[in-house]
Amino acid sequence: MAPDSENTLSLEQIDTILAFLPIFEHEDFAPSKIAAPLGVFPHYVLADELSHFQEALYENGFVFSFDWSSWQDEALRYFNEPELLHIANIQVLRKLLTLHVRKDRFSDGHLSEKVKCGHITVILRRLKELREGIV
């Protein structure tokens, strides 16, 4: 069972998520494509790597239950002022990742766009800094 917001994450859980960083940093990585079959509303189809990332976030306790919709203004600050991420703790990173994954369920393509613009990469780089400070 995934830990709740009060539990700490293991190094193995963190490392599992960090394994996606080089994938997202690769300049040729395309997080999704838009499918528009005849007679069907266009929608995002996630790249396998992004789909696996999303699953890994759930499986490793990064996505947890909290009122993410009421936290959106705070999350927007981290997006608009990326320097705030340089001092973010792991709980803030988990909140951001949870928000982006959950928001994607209501706004198709949200997570993909956050990868594409580099926001998820910045979050993962900060996670890596925190991880390196543990050892």
Does any domain span residue 30? yes
pLDDT-derived band at 9 (thresholds 50, 70, 90) equals very high
Does any domain span residue 101? yes
- The tokens describing 1, both together, are 């069972």
Does any domain span residue 68? yes
pLDDT-derived band at 123 (thresholds 50, 70, 90) equals very high
User: What is the domain count for the chain?
Assistant: 1
- Find out whether 127 and 61 touch, Cβ atoms under 8 Å: no
Query: Which domain range does residue 29 map to?
Result: 11-134
**Nearest CA among 109, 82, 107, 105 for reference residue 93:** 82
Does any domain span residue 5? no
Does any domain span residue 2? no
Does any domain span residue 61? yes
Does any domain span residue 34? yes
Does any domain span residue 1? no
| Separation between Cα atoms, residue 122 and residue 9, nearest integer Å | 19
Helix axes 119-134, 11-18, angle to 10 degrees: 150
| Separation between Cα atoms, residue 3 and residue 34, nearest integer Å | 34
- Residues 39-59 have pLDDT tens digits of 777 788 899 999 999 999 999
